Amino acid sequence: MALSGTLKDFGIADILQLIGHQTKTGKLVLKNGAEEVDVLFVEGNVVFATDNSRPKESLLGNMLLRAEILSEERLEEALVVQRRSLKRLGDVLLEHNYLAADDLAQIMRLQTTETLYKLFSWKSGTYEFEQEELEGFKSGFEPVRAESVLLEGFRRMDEWPAVRKKLPWPDATFTKQKDLPDAVPDARERDGEPGERHRKIYRLAVEGRPASNIADVSRAGEFETWKALVELCDWGYLEAVRPAGKTEAIAAARKPARSGALVRLAVATAAFCATILLVHLAIPALGAARGEQSAGRGAVLRLLAQDQILRLESALEVYRVEHGEYPASLAALVDGQLVTGQDVSYPFRDPYQYRRTPQGFVLLPPLD
């Protein structure tokens, strides 16, 4: 399988979805001007991504240094061995017991995912995917599902501008205004209540430590750190201290916006159900003389619906696995009787089936 084209015609979300659904193994090369990103897939899952124009601070060694996992002396020693042996830096660090395998895997995964999420901001460029076996390749971390990348990428695109508007300074520091409430064992994170992610960021937000350093040490990535800091400020646990010489003001606190990505999922689900309903209503109303023509339309609509349901099925299952339940926006659609509980249960089933007869296509009763 060889796939190539421009990102204007076939976006990054479509490319990741296609490779993920078809469980392909191979290499995807994306180019945008002087930038080039290579992504490796094994059975549709991302096992590695590298930005060939990556700035120095995003290199693995510097990320380990900033995360306070590795000392400068040991990094220099490892780089000398790497240049001499031509081995990967991660392999050298593990062979010399300079760090734990779990710490290395966490930073390598973060490096890969941050590279992937950057692609969602690309408005133009080219792509080329070549199916090939990756013999001898060792990932170093648990592969990332393409569906997870899609859902998280859309969420970041929706929420990142508002987060950065409220906290625009990487060198902002923080003062603690009040203690966090005691953690409730096995409690799910809810709007307005600190979760484990917030507790970790709160512990790291010691006086004088800038936001950029909190992101490095937390190993959570820039977006997740910034979002947690903004929410802790909104809830009154932290107060951001503007760096000297900065004139921008922090935006007024407000309730965090619901993820637009989840809203789009809910709307798409309703649209899917509406499409099926329209086919159901339209076919019996058409005369026999137009049976073949209507059947053709119905077949096309059904094929389109099946493609959409695959997308929804993957994204909703990822959300359910990560959060233990389906998005509240879908529950609202059920409460409003726009869709039924069966429509948003996993796995989905097309409730309408058709049978070809001498008179044309006949709509069968819905499945139970």
Mean confidence (pLDDT) of the chain: 76
CA distance 9 to 6: 6
Confidence of residue 300 (pLDDT cuts 50, 70, 90): very low
**Cross-strand bridge partners of residue 32:** 35
Do the beta carbons of residue 170 and residue 210 sit within 8 Å? Answer: yes
Sheet holding 144-145, edge to edge: 2-6, 126-131, 26-32, 35-42, 45-51, 144-145
Confidence of residue 327 (pLDDT cuts 50, 70, 90): low
Instruction: Looking at the chain, list the stretches that DSSP marks H as alpha helix, in order from N- to C-terminal side.
Output: 12-21, 60-66, 72-85, 89-95, 101-118, 146-166, 196-204, 211-218, 222-234, 260-285, 291-323, 328-335
pLDDT digit string (tens) for 231-279? Answer: 999 999 999 999 887 655 444 433 444 445 555 555 545 554 554 444 4
Conformational region of residue 138, where left means phi above 0, alpha means psi within -120 to 50, and beta covers everything else: beta
Closest by alpha carbon to 105, among 119, 93, 117?
Answer: 93
Place of tokens 């970790």: 200
Q: pLDDT higher for 246 or 117? A: 117
Tell me, what's the pLDDT at 114? Answer: 92
